[in-house]
Amino acid sequence: MQLVSDRLGDLENLLGMENDATSELESRLDTAAIHSSVRITLLTQIPSGAPVKNARTSSGYGERIHPVTGIKKFHRGQDFAVNTGTPVYAPADGVIEVTRPSNEGSGNYLRIFHAHGFSSSYSHLSKFAANKGDFVKKGDLIAYSGNSGLSSELHLHYEVRFIGRFLNPKPFLDWDVDNFDSIFKNVRGIGWESLVETIELRVSHQLQLSSQKVAQLTDTLK
C-alpha cells in the first residue's frame, strides 16, 4: 500500500504544479521531496526501530506461559535479552508521560507519549535517564535496562500502543526507510491513509511557505 506515493497528482494540483502561471521557483518544487519529508516525519514521530541496540528477542508478542508465575497469559509486548545498564533510546519524538519506580510488577517503568495517538513503554529498568515532562527526540537516551519488578531474567520489556490499544511491536521494530510500506500492511486498525494525508498536506504547506520566502528574498536582491 504505497500511500505516500498514491496521491502524487493531488499534491501536484495542491502545489499548483499544473498551472502555467506558477513561478519558475514553485515549478521546481520536487514532489519526491514531499514524499521523502512525509516518510521522515512518520518515522520520527511514530515508534520505529528498536529501543536497544543489537539485542536478542527473548519473548515475543502473544500467548505464553509466564516465566515467573507459570500461568498462561497474553504477553503484550516484546522482551529483549540485555544486560543491566544497557542504554534504552526513544524510538520516536515525544514527551515522557510516566516515570514510576517500583520493585513489583513492571518494576521501574517509563512511558513516552508520541504523536498521533501512539505511545511506547519500558519495564524492568535499572534507572531513568529522563524525567516526567521531558521532551525527547528519536534516539535520545531515556533509561537503562535492568531486572526490577516481577522478572525472571535480565531484560527490557517493550510495548507499543495506539490510543491505549496494545499493538505487536515487531512491525514497528522492522520499520525503516527501506521497509517503509510494511507498516501499512502489517498493522491493522489504524487510519493510516488519513494520517498520511494529513502529514502530506502539512508538508506541502510548509514547502509552499518556504518557496514564498525564497521568492521574496530573491525579489529584494534584484
pLDDT in tens, 125-136: 999 999 999 999
Average pLDDT over residues 173-179: 94
More confident residue, 206 or 195: 195
Which of 125, 48, 128 is CA-nearest to residue 82? 125
Give yes or no: residues 143 and 75 share one domain.
Answer: yes
Lowest mean pLDDT among 6-10, 100-104, 129-133, 170-174: 6-10
Give yes or no: residues 123 and 146 share one domain.
Answer: yes
User: What is the 8-class DSSP label of residue 217?
Assistant: H
pLDDT tens-place string over residues 22-60: 444 344 444 455 588 899 999 999 999 999 999 999 887
Give yes or no: residues 145 and 186 share one domain.
Answer: no
Q: Is residue 51 part of a domain?
A: no
pLDDT at residue 66 greater than cutoff 50: yes
What is each CA distance from 46 to 193, 213, 215, in whole angstroms? 15, 30, 34
Q: What is the pLDDT of residue 60?
A: 79
Q: Is residue 142 part of a domain?
A: yes
Beta strands in 14-167 (DSSP E): 56-59, 62-65, 72-75, 78-81, 87-89, 94-100, 108-113, 118-128, 135-136, 141-145, 156-162, 165-167
Helix (H, G, I), strand (E, B) or coil at 107: coil
Give yes or no: residues 64 and 164 share one domain.
Answer: yes
More confident residue, 15 or 153: 153
Alpha helices in 24-147 (DSSP H): 24-27, 31-45
pLDDT tens-place string over residues 82-104: 999 999 999 999 999 999 999 99
The residue type of 67 is P
Give yes or no: residues 103 and 141 share one domain.
Answer: yes
Query: For residue 60, which phi and psi values (nearest 5 degrees)?
Result: -100, -175
Helix (H, G, I), strand (E, B) or coil at 215: helix
Give yes or no: residues 165 and 72 share one domain.
Answer: yes
Residues 6+ apart with CB under 8 A from 6: none
Domain with 87, as residue range(s), is: 56-174
User: What is the 8-class DSSP label of residue 24?
Assistant: H
Confidence of residue 10 (pLDDT cuts 50, 70, 90): low
- Residues above pLDDT 90, as percent of the chain: 59
Average pLDDT over residues 176-205: 90
Compute how many other C-beta atoms are within 10 angstroms of the C-beta atom of residue 203. 19
Average pLDDT over residues 66-75: 71
Confidence of residue 15 (pLDDT cuts 50, 70, 90): very low
Give yes or no: residues 154 and 92 share one domain.
Answer: yes
Which of 37, 81, 33 is CA-nearest to residue 57? 81
Which of 201, 195, 184, 105 is CA-nearest to residue 151? 105
Give the global pTM.
0.79
Give yes or no: residues 124 and 206 share one domain.
Answer: no
